[in-house]
Structure 1
Amino acid sequence: MATGSTLARRALGRELNRLREAAKMSQSAAGRVIGVSPQTIGRMEDGQPTKVSDLYVNALCDAYQATDGERVVLLGLAQEVRAAQRSGGGWWRAYADEIPADFDHYLALEEAAKRLTAWKLTVVPGMLQTPEYRRAMIWTETPNKDTEAVEKRIEIATRRQARLEERDFAVDVILSEAVVRDQIGGRSVMANQLRHLAQAGDRPNVSIRVVPFSAPSHLGSFVGSFVLLEFPALPSSKLTEPPVVYVEEYAGDLYLERDSEVGRYRDAVAEISRVALDEQATRRLLLELVEEYTG
């Protein structure tokens, strides 16, 4: 699995930020060292796409009084960023006109993740949606969208599902029963979608569970839908990026990275898991609903 440049940029930015703050330098002062704006330093530290040459890294290491070991790590990360960029951008770049900027960032993280844990209150996660289900969602959200644009979005969802074929990529999805009973696209579309979920759950690296309406009061009703993304070690530096919680909202998305924030969502996963059906009981429920929708 290729981690791409996203994780290396984030790791490089985090290390640059740590060294600058340890040196008690402002972003403006750091920018003057290499002849760039403080905004550019901010982009570097936030792990956003921007030029990070060895010349820049060495000059900043000198200014920050970095150790030889720290310099080696930073130069290695910069090399990883450039190597990933030379191999080309993510496959989703071809669909840039149909992907909001925030979701472009999410796709890069999802592509690099080694584990995805999702709690969904209302809809099936994109990585597990059938084309018909996805199409029905799009027409509901944007009824005036032209057919070509709709089909491009469906292609995006289909491409994302290729990661399910990777044995070293784990997916743990917990769904509210509302997700499997809300008839998005009608009974036939839902029957196919639930059949697809049951089949996906047969994969050794995929776990799908449902929290039934009969479950006791639980934290999932209050925290809302979210995705927890965990990452592998970077290939050269062996640094591991901290996990990210992605919270998708109708008016905008949130990316949470602080240990305290991620910890609260980990606790939420544990609490929701406690009241969820196991995988076999979930499969039985899904297939019972398929019978109901096709009967």
Structure 2
Amino acid sequence: MRSRSGRTVQHAVLAARIQRLREGAGLSRVEAAEALGAHSATIRRIEKGETSLNAGQVSVLLEKFGASREEIDDFLTGLAAANVPGWWHPWRDVMDAWQLDLMSVESASSIIRTWHPTLVPELLRTPTYARALEDVFRSDLTTETRIRRVDLLTQRQERLREKRTRIWALMEESALHTRVGGAAVMREQITALHEAILRKEITLQVHRLTDPVHALTATTGLTLYRVDVAEIPDHVVRDSAVGLPDIWDDQKTVTAYRTLMDKAAAAAPHPSAPLPTTCIDQ
């Protein structure tokens, strides 16, 4: 995984632009570093988006690359905009570090594909369902922190809806029979799923209990992010019951998981199929 340390998608785009300008000027990283009085490793980190972009350093580099004053001013304007904290900034104290790294990618995604074998996928969860899971899985956190984490999830869902980000979710019917937070919570969650599938940007496929095994059977939860920006690779996140989730943005790994999702989707009932009936007790 290439960590972005909380930096925005805009930073990654600007970093890639610096590399293109250097290469266009026919300069090596060593030659670019000489302009800053730094090591070539500094230029590599700047171009890979592994460090913050300093306006002073950027100006020196762009001048070295032969950029015009207008081009430099335009770049610095973009950098100033990229330095504005993301909308999620107020929740950063309750976010996991890996989540903070990915939030800008999620917010810029055009398509988010997600799979969960035993639970309702995160981006389709109701607040009460999500809170019940927080109480079980994050009992190490304070009640206030768990409430704020659910509030963050609600905000994520609302902003993705405003952007009309396409969400393509796959899940198992067993998740609809697994009691999370009690019967009332489950009824609310199932009603929310019925409402979600009426939205044009939501695709939900549910593998029935009677269906044969498929490509994602026994695979832990997955989320794949697609950003329509050339400089930003697709990302895939594989959940972990303990420790940090696995996160990749290399083409080989992402393609492998996308292929699994494609196969599982092809084996699932058509999205227009009604949700399976459930047996949640009254």
Q: TM tier, shorter chain?
A: 0.7 to 0.9
Q: Deviations over 1:69-120 (max 9, x none)?
A: 9x95x975553232232xx312221122211111112222111112111112
**Paired position in structure 2 for 1:82:** 80
Equivalent in the alignment of 1:151: 147
**Residue 262 of structure 1 aligns to which amino acid in structure 2?**
V
Counterpart in the other structure of 1:25: 29
Distance in 2 of aligned mates of 1:242 and 1:78: 24
Which deviates further from its counterpart, 4-13 or 258-267?
4-13
Amino acid at match of 1:56: Q
Distance 1:162 1:134 in 2: 15
Bigger mean CA deviation after superposition, 107-116 or 74-83: 74-83
| 1:191 and 1:294 in contact (8 A); partners too | no
Distance (whole Å) between structure 2 residues aligned to residue 260 and residue 155 of structure 1: 35
- For 2:15, the aligned partner's letter is G
Distance of aligned partners of 1:20 and 1:120 in 2 relative to their CA distance in 1, 3 Å threshold: farther
Q: Where does the alignment leave 5 or more consecutive residues of structure 1 unmatched?
A: 234-238
Mean CA deviation greater in 106-115 or 211-220: 211-220
- Could you report, residue by residue, the CA deviation over 1:202-249 in whole angstroms, capped at 9, with x for unpaired residues? 11111111122333332212653221111234xxxxx55332222232
Q: Is the 8 A contact 2:11 2:82 kept in 1?
A: no
What SS does structure 2 have at the residue aligned with 1:241?
A: coil
Is structure 2 residue 267 aligned with structure 1 residue 280? no
Question: What RMSD, in angstroms, separates the aligned Cα atoms of the two structures?
Answer: 3.2
8 Å contact from structure 2 (residues 117, 218) kept in 1: no
The verdict on how the C-alpha distance between 1:156 and 1:42 changes in structure 2, with shifts beyond 3 A counting, is farther
Contact 1:113 1:229 in 2 (8 A): yes
Correspondence for 1:99: 95
Task: Give the aligned partner of residue 253 of structure 1.
Answer: 245
| 1:252 match: secondary structure | coil
Per-residue CA deviations over 1:111-166 (Å, capped at 9, x if unaligned) read 11121111122332332211111111111113353221121111111111113433
**Residue equivalent to 2:120:** 124
Match of 1:44 in 2: 46
1:112 matched to 2:127: no
TM-score by length of 2: 0.81
Rounded Cα–Cα distance in structure 1 between residues aligned with 2:154 and 2:168: 19
Give the direction of change, closer, same or farther, for the CA distance of 1:77–1:181 in structure 2 (3 Å limit).
Answer: farther
Range moving further from structure 2, 98-107 or 252-261: 252-261
* Matched positions, count: 273
Aligned to 1:134: 130
| 247 and 80 in structure 1: CA distance in 2 versus 1, 3 angstrom threshold | farther
Corresponding residue SS for 1:208 = strand
AA in 2 matched with 1:277: P
Which residue pairs with 2:58 in the alignment?
57
CA deviation after TM superposition for structure 1 residue 11, in Å: 2.2
Shift of 1:41: 4.1
- Share of identical aligned residues, percent? 23
Q: Secondary structure at the match of 2:112?
A: strand
Q: TM-score, normalised by structure 1?
A: 0.78
Selected match of 2:234 from 238, 243, 253: 243
* Separation of aligned partners in 2, 1:141 and 1:200: 25
Preserved contact between residue 7 and residue 112 of structure 1 (Cα < 8 Å): yes
